[in-house]
Amino acid sequence: MNFNTEILDEIKASNSKLVFVTKYHDKEVTEEIVSYMIENYPEIIEWFWENRLEALKEKNLDREMTHFIWNIQTKQIKEIIKYAWVIHSVDDIKHLKKLEDICTKSWNWVQVFLQINVDETKPWGIKVEQIPEFLDLIWDMENVSLIWFSAIWKSDFTIEEKNKEFDLLISLRNKYLPNWFISAGTSLDYKIALEKGVDFVRIWSSLYN
């Protein structure tokens, strides 16, 4: 596998971090990616991104570097947190409560991103006016901690729309908890994300030559 070091160096120069999307690869290739990134770019690699419980079990990566992002099924939460240190796409109060309950009973701990709806055409994600309710709940939890905000992935956009999306996330971060982290940007829009100072970018296909 040939890695696109130009993009990796670009992320490094920006002082942002990378969530490397490994969900499309089998165990062997994923292990190659993990090994390469830890050896060559330890300063930028933050997590490896998986989205299926079956893959989490099969690959069994270092939990503290494994990140789950996709629609969460309540019945799978107990198993997901055995393999993933970070749950990225939290947008449901009942899921937050379930995470806290399971972690408390199992003496475990998990970090979460709240997934904010920055695209009104999409039905999922936390509406801006709901943010205080979610924050109030998390502050009272002992086993679930907040990293901060993430955005719903969007494949069809204009540069103006994407700038508006990132500006909204940054303004919400600055309003509620300055200096905390934002996760947004993909292979399609990571350059805009880096220019805006987004903390974590999630990239897959662009990282290969």
Express each pLDDT in 3-41 by its tens digit: 999 999 999 999 899 998 898 899 999 999 999 999 999
pLDDT in tens, 125-181: 888 899 999 999 999 999 999 887 887 656 677 888 888 888 988 898 899 988 788
Q: Find tokens 């993909």 and name the residue.
A: 186
CATH (domain of 140): 3.20.20.10
Instruction: Identify the weakest region by mean pLDDT among 82-86, 195-199, 205-209.
Output: 205-209
Q: Are 70 and 52 in contact (CB under 8 A)?
A: yes
Domain extent for 54: 5-207
The CA-based diameter of the chain, rounded to the nearest angstrom, is: 46
Q: How many domains does the chain have?
A: 1
